[in-house]
Structure 1
Amino acid sequence: MGDIASSWWMLLVRGLAAIVFGFLALIWPGITLLVLVVFFAAYALVNGVFALLSGVRHGARSRAWLIVSGIIGIIAGVLAFAWPGITSFALLYVVAFWAVFSGVAEIVAGVHLRKDIDNELMLIVGGVLSVIFGVLLLIWPGAGLLSLVWLVGAFAILYGIAEIALALRVKNFTSSPTVP
C-alpha cells in the first residue's frame, strides 16, 4: 500500500495534464493539424512517462499493466512528434487505438489494484472512458478533425477528473494511520 500511496502525485500530474490538454483543445477548436499533433504528442508523452514511473514503483499486481500503458503513451507521443504532417484521418486512428489500448491497460490495473486500495473504481472509470472514446472514434472516423478536437478535449477533461479523484483518494492513504 505504501508504494501506491507514495506515488499519488504522479496520478495528480497525469490528471492535471489531461485537463490542461482538454481545455486547450476546446479553447482553440480551429487549430491546425500540426498544433493538435503537438498537443496530443506532449500529453501522450507526459501521461506515458508518469504511467511508466508509476508502474515501476508499484507492486507486482499492477506493475505490468501500468508499464504497458506508459509505453503505449510514450510510443504514441513519439510517433505524433516524428510525423507532424500526418492527415487528420491518420491522427484519428493513432488517438483511437492509443485510447483503446491504454484504457484496457488501466481497467486491468484497476481490477488488480482492488486488493491494494479501496475505491479503485476511478482508475477503472478512466479506463472505460478511454475505451469508449477510442471506439467512438473508430466507428465514426469521418466526423472530421474539428469533431476530433471536441471529443479529445471532452475526453481529456473527464479522464483528468477521474485521475485527480483517484490521486486524492490514494493520497488519503499516506495520512491515514496504520493499524498494527
Structure 2
Amino acid sequence: MDPALEFMSRNWWVLLVRGLIAIAFGITAFVWPALTLAVLVLIFGAFILFDGIVGAIDALRNRDQMENWWLWLLEGVLGIVVGAFTLLMPGITALFLLGLVAAWSILGGILRIIAAIQLRKTIDGEWVLIASGLLSVVFGVAIIALPHAGLVSIAWIIGFWAVAFGILFVLLAFRLRKAGQ
C-alpha cells in the first residue's frame, strides 16, 4: 500500500472528528444566528484553532510516513495562527475578522486542492478532498463579496459552509477507513 494512503487510512478518525466538529459548529450557527458578534467570533476562533492544532499535530506525528506532510502542517499552522489571533483579539472589527476568515478559508482550500491533486494517483475518491477545498474557496470569496451582509446572513453562510465541509470530511474519513481495510 502507498505510504500516503496507509497513513491517511490509519488516521481516518482524525478527519471524522474534524468533520463532526465542523457539522456541530455549523448547526450551532443555524440554531443561534442572532448571536452577538463577540460570541460568534469566539466560537469560530475556537473552531479554527482546534482544527489547526489537530491538523498540525497529525501532520508532525506522521511526517515520516507522508511525503506531502508539509501541506497538512501548513494548513494546520494557518488555522492555529488565525484561530489564536481571533481568540486573543475578539474586539477587532467584523470586517477585519471576516477578511481573516476569508483568507484562511481560501488558502486552506487551495492547500487541500493541491494535496488532493498530489494524492490522486494513490487514492480513490480524491474528489471529496477537492470538493472540500473548492467549497472553502467559494466560502472565502462569498465572505469577501458580501462584507456588509447582516450578522444573521454571515452566520448562515458560515453554518452552511461548516456543515458541508464537515459532511465532506466525514465522507472522506469513511472512504479512507474502507481503503485501509
- 1:137 CA drift (Å): 1.0
Please tell me whether the aligned partners of residues 34 and 151 of structure 2 are also in contact (alpha carbons under 8 angstroms).
Answer: no
- Residue 146 of structure 1, CA deviation: 2.0
Q: How does 1:92-107 map to 2 (within 5 A)?
A: 92-107=98-113
Indicate if the aligned counterparts of 1:96 and 1:138 stay in contact, CA closer than 8 A: yes
2:45 maps to 41
What corresponds to 2:20 in structure 1?
16
After TM superposition, list the pairs within 5 Å mapping 1:78-93 onto structure 2: 78-93=84-99
Distance 2:123 2:58 in 1: 15
Among residues 4, 12, 22, which one is paired with 2:8 in the alignment?
Answer: 4
Q: Deviations over 1:118-173 (max 9, x none)?
A: 11111111000000010111122111322111100000000000000000000112
Q: Percent of pairs identical after alignment?
A: 39
Separation in 2, partners of 1:114, 1:61:
14
Q: Which amino acid aligns with 2:7?
A: D
Q: Could you say what the CA RMSD is over the residues aligned between the two structures, in angstroms?
A: 1.3
> How far is 1:7 from its partner?
0.7
Find the counterpart in structure 2 of residue 178 from structure 1: none
3-state secondary structure, aligned to 1:125: helix
Residue in 2 aligned with 1:30? 34
2:12, 2:173 within 8 Å by CA — same for their partners in 1? yes
- The equivalent residue for 1:153 is 159
Displacement of 1:117 in angstroms is 1.3
* Structure 2 residue identity aligned to 1:42: A
Unmatched runs of 5 consecutive residues or more in structure 1:
176-180
Q: Does the aligned pair in 2 maintain the 1:96–1:137 contact within 8 Å?
A: yes
Q: TM-score normalised to the size of structure 1? A: 0.92
Q: Which has the higher contact order (CA 8 A, sep 6+)?
A: 2
Q: In the superposition, relative to structure 1, how do residues 171 and 89 fare at CA in structure 2: closer, same or farther (>3 Å)?
A: same
Q: 2:59 aligns with which of 55, 60, 65?
A: 55
Aligned position for 1:140: 146
| Native 8 Å contact 2:25 2:159 kept in 1 | yes
- Give the equivalent residue in structure 2 for 1:173: 179
**TM-score when scaled to structure 2?**
0.92
Q: Is the Cα–Cα contact under 8 Å of residues 45 and 74 in structure 1 kept in the other structure?
A: yes
Report deviation, 1:2. 1.8
Partner Cα separation in structure 1 for residue 49 and residue 40 of structure 2: 14
The counterpart of 2:71, out of the listed 61, 65, 77, is 65
Displacement of 1:44 in angstroms is 0.4
